Amino acid sequence: MSNLRLAVAGLATLIFMSIGCSNKNSDSINDVKENPLEAITKNISEEVEVRGSFKRSFEVYQLEANGKTYYVADPKQLLIENSNKIGQDGYYKLFETCVIGVIGSEGGYGPTGKYENEITVSKTCV
């Protein structure tokens, strides 16, 4: 009797596994509708030079330049290094700077989504 139960449980498991695997769709083939090289080229954004006033406060890095306020993504912490070099010790930072980076598409950036523009800093400039 116990062997019969094990056989039924094993068979049921095998059936459920085959049903689950047969319903899985692979959309990866359907996602590529253009030349892969063209898709890569479209995703590479051009870096720009932006000069302005950098401000860091609680959870917010922002750069005011050319009449716009950018939310700053600074993965290498280059702007914090620069503020330390000029002697700013506190948490809040404010100084004029020049950065080179990629400007993101318009949208809601920052912790509250209030910034329409974002710049991802790759290096600082003179």
**In this structure, is residue 31 part of a structural domain?**
no
Residue type (1 letter), 105:
S
Buried b / exposed e across 9-24, counting CB within 10 Å, b at 16+? eeeeeeeeeeeeeeee
DSSP 89: -
DSSP 92: -
pTM for the predicted model, two decimal places: 0.60
> When comparing pLDDT for 30 and 67, which is higher?
67
Cβ(91)–Cβ(64) below 8 Å: no
**In this structure, is residue 62 part of a structural domain?**
yes
What CATH number is attached to the domain comprising 80? 2.40.50
Give which of 87, 124, 85, 121 is closest to 103, Cα–Cα: 121
pLDDT in tens, 22-59: 444 444 444 444 455 444 444 557 999 999 999 988 77
Strands (E), 37-81: 47-57, 60-65, 68-73
> What is the count of structural domains for the chain?
1
pLDDT in tens, 3-15: 777 667 766 676 7
The whole domain housing 111 covers: 46-124
